[in-house]
Structure 1
């Protein structure tokens, strides 16, 4: 690598004595991290198994120069950093120390209590909340309600690590403007941990969702909303609904297999058939559900959703004209 590209790599981010490591082997141990980093200096703290796939970590050196020497070494080395044969990507963290905050009421749990400031209950849909938070990992359940504090949501993740990576990234931030109605000027998220560990959701509705239980009944009011013909801005009826969805997948950085699609789409109901094909140089898939209602909930929830974090393999969904796929194999 030439010196100029090396310098550019080093200074695009503000150096920090905390390094952020990505693409680690799953369930990577603290010992493995220390082994990788100790040639460059003394490690004072680590935080392992962070992120949706538990394949990221933070490592804090005692001194800033030690962190800089590790980043510089791998920026200019022909051999990448590796743990268990996997290439590890190293960058400066935007935090300057690893804090394991344990103040009361702040004990990490797998359920987040999110207060959405500056909005009315109808301004932010449950689909928007799902889209924002599922960037960090699989969201099991969401319940929304109005309290004196404002519009709030409980969001249940698999574990406290995933919940805390979502909280660290989103607390104090706003939901992106393009996901909000035009009249909302600002919308801040205030996030703390809830004492709940498992939300009790009776049925799927515009107020609550359980993404782990496809057989949960849909609240009749939510059903009526789904079954009405949708009228577009031009006053024309939009595409008729169908039990088969057509998915176009953009930004294909990773292979998308039938198994991958099955695990994504079966969160909403039984997937009967899947067909993947190439069209116009892009990858598309047909996904068949037993009924229109299930397909409609899946379409609403997954539109614009990325299968992999980082914006990879983004789904765009429409209803197919098919109602029963003829899958040979």
Structure 2
């Protein structure tokens, strides 16, 4: 139920090792496994109990011999139970979601195995009494549309002198795009501080929520949750929209175009330290510092990578400053056919 939020699980194997209850899960898509790890590692299944520790397994495929309470292959309903019990009923073996992740619980096995369960079907974490709730996750687990609220209405059009990117209609989508590919954005007509944001898939929506909710942007604290809407509807031909809806589905700024891209391994929470890349040789430290100060940022520290001067780290005065700088300067034209790439960093300077 917990892991099904992030994709279709094909196989599960449970076992005990070093007196710890452990589980191997195989998702149908490696991206789903990555998102599950990002969102659930370190979370408690129950309040202050059963902390998940998740890592990627070295196995590329799970071999399941039996369908019972210790293992299950949801692609093979014909497998024997192995203990004299009949095979699971088809109604309980429909795919409920998950490529391979292994997790352990530092709370012992008591209360953990029942919480895991093998019940199928889309279930939100909050639907199970006493179980974990992933921060900000409400609504349908298969929904890819976010409701982002408490935006600053005065900052919904980027007019800064250094931002030459004509694609930026609603700047906050660049922030959201750090955690997934944004396809559509719609500002609410009667509540300009609310917006619907359609991500590429439900997994990306969950990750975006976990990192966006509670972050400060343009002086206000963002709130992000799943919307009741399944899609962001584009205006019909001839329909007056006042420019409140934008389609970014073919944007060249998408960070996650290729499955298995290294970008998936470099998703980090918003921080005051930014990772800069695609820097041409002619650009100096002062050039980059001046670029960031021109947006109102205060540069606290800066250094190029010793082995690769195409990359650098820059530390700004606050996380909010870093978020705003990323929005305004990601894809900035540095000349020589180089556009600046910016992401949050877990490193220190």
Q: Give 1 or 2: higher helix fraction.
A: 1
Is TM more than 0.5 here? no
Normalised to the residue count of structure 1, the TM-score between the two structures is 0.40
> Whose RCO is larger (CA < 8 A, sep 6+)?
2
Normalised to the residue count of structure 2, the TM-score between the two structures is 0.38
